[in-house]
Chains A and B, each alone.
Chain A
Amino acid sequence: MTFFAGQNLTINYGTHTIIKQMNVTFPKGEVIGLIGPNGSGKSTLLGALSGFHKLKTGRVILEDHELHQFSAKKRAQLLACLPQNPQAPGDITVRDLVGYGRYAYQHRWTTDHEADHKAVQRAMVNANIQEFADTPIADLSGGQRQRAFIAMTLAQDSEILLLDEPTTFLDLPHQLEILKLVRVLNRELHKTIIIVLHDLNQAARFCDNLVCLKQGTIAYQGRPQDVFTAQMLADVFHVRAKVTMDPKAHCPLLLTYDTI
């Protein structure tokens, strides 16, 4: 059975081909890191996987069905996506924003308010934003705002989470907080999480599987121990680097680096 995969994906902006005939499979129950230089097509791939970008060729398979066979709401129950620059009207409160995550479960006249309320509460607790529940999102710091949006996607109760650079604009402690949250969501709630990260050491440490994009194609995919090599870094990122083993976290670590 195919859990989540893209087959023969080609995506164009106008006549410009961004992703060329890509085949990619995402293992169930893992944290999958999507890495690659700026403009390599990470966000575009994520947009295609969530059904937002139209495909020129190929198909996205979700639980043995083509993605577009699901209704929009059914799809949102299976798959939640946080794009790179989420925007919402600044005056709504965190609670209302997180409540939007329940849209896929709400029927027009018969809505289970109790279940919605519980799911919203749980999502806010999990994303550690509940103390700001009644704060307008315009009044939050960048990190709190990011967590509010993550809580919104958590409220979707989906098995798969797509997160596009959830750690940009955050300082180191808050980056770690988000990454640890991702890991908890994966280990305890068994979510499959596909996450775009720019910090390569964080990607190596927090992901079970790395997908390395280079100019719209997959250059490498596999366990960090296997793909996170000097060879890959030279090939994909054009940096000369020394890779060692992190003694504490037991994952590859980028030590010294420079442009080639």
Chain B
Amino acid sequence: MRKNRNYFLISLCILGLLLFMNSLLLGVHNYALSDFFASQSQNFAIIWQLRLPRVLAAAIVGALLALAGKLLQTVSNNPIADPSLLGINSGANLALICGTILGVPFTLFWRVSLAFLGAFLTFLIVFLLSMTRRGLSPTRLILSGTIFSGFLNGIAYGISILTKSSQRFRNFLVGGFSGVDCKQMWLLLILLLIILGLTIYFARDITIIGLNDQLSQGLGSRIVLIRSVAVIIVVLATSGSVAVGGNIAFIGLGIPHLVHYFDKRDFKHVYLEIMCFGSVFLMFCDLLARLLARPFELPLGGLSAILGGGFLIWYVYRQSEAVVA
């Protein structure tokens, strides 16, 4: 049993590497393997300076969003939780849109700071809305998040219509990695390291709070501390992802469920698999977005939602079959 599961992680890694290489080489123009090393040619520069940041960003954002989804599902004991349900995406989005309209310079620094600010503010409000006398209620968290994010999306939509500027925000609203440069790539890499470190450090504690509160408290868990850590990881991962890639649907909700299909163990055993799967999935979508309608690009956010939705329908179908059989 254990061997099989390791094979799953290893095959995901190999798949990821293959996809990574192919994503670097294929696109509007296809390059050959030898271009990787032809340091004088223009192709070399395109691969390493334009394609690498883009592909790496897709890989990292995929991993972060999938992890954020799984974390949220674990700590809220709710299998259909998704970071977008907490309004974090919408908050980051709205902050970006407002910032742009107010004339904040559109540099990486401002973009990321705005996204974090919006994400944290939104989360703070949603968090306060879901506090009860007995502490944070996971159900209320999801409910108030959903409602509040609808509210924020409405405002964002309204603003972009009023200012006739929806075209400029297309990238946030739809999601994609076309303009990603080296700075953003480094930002995501650092974020990934921080988040991976935190997750590895707290993996066992997070697994325990997947039980109900009284059980995990009795087992010796410091629920409030661990839940806060988990939520901080979720906010960091989501806002970083939105700042660079815009809104990308499905990953947080769908990838953990797909991995669950292959490996039903608890959080500490599956989070690496989930991150790898998220990477592979988003790199694949990004590659498709570039290849399917050459020389044009398809919107990545839409593509991942369609692909992911298809996957999910298949998954639910399989599940229901399993019940009948």
**Chain A contact residues, CB within 8 Å of chain B:** 13-14, 47, 50-52, 72-77, 79-83, 85-89, 91-92, 96, 100-101, 103-104, 106, 108, 136, 152-153, 156
Contacts and interface: CB of A to CB of B under 8 A. Distances in A.
Contact of A86 (B204, B207, B210, B215): B215
Interface string B211-245: 11111011111100000000000000000000000
A89 B77 CA distance: 8
A50 B218 CA distance: 7
Nearest to A111: B204
A73 B220 contact: yes
B215 A88 contact: yes
A91 B218 CA distance: 21
A103 B207 CA distance: 10
A47 B214 CA distance: 8
Given A83-B214, A103-B208, A106-B204, A76 B265 contact: no
A234 to B, nearest CB: 33
A153 B218 CA distance: 9
Given A72-B222, A82-B218, 11 more contacts: A50-B218, A52-B218, A79-B218, A86-B212, A87-B211, A96-B266, A101-B219, A103-B221, A104-B219, A108-B204, A156-B219
26 contacts: A13-B133, A51-B217, A52-B213, A52-B218, A72-B220, A72-B222, A73-B220, A76-B218, A80-B218, A81-B218, A83-B214, A83-B215, A87-B211, A87-B212, A87-B215, A96-B265, A96-B266, A100-B207, A100-B211, A100-B219, A103-B204, A103-B208, A104-B220, A106-B204, A108-B204, A156-B219
Interface string B57-84: 0000000000000000000010000000
A14 B201 contact: no
**Considering residues B201, B207, B214, B266, which has the most beta carbons from chain A within 10 angstroms of its beta carbon?**
B214
B183 interface: no
A108 B226 CA distance: 14
A199 B221 CA distance: 32
B132 to A, nearest CB: 10
A136 B264 contact: yes
Nearest to A84: B214
A108 B201 contact: yes
A106 B210 CA distance: 17
Contacts of B207: 100
B260 interface: yes
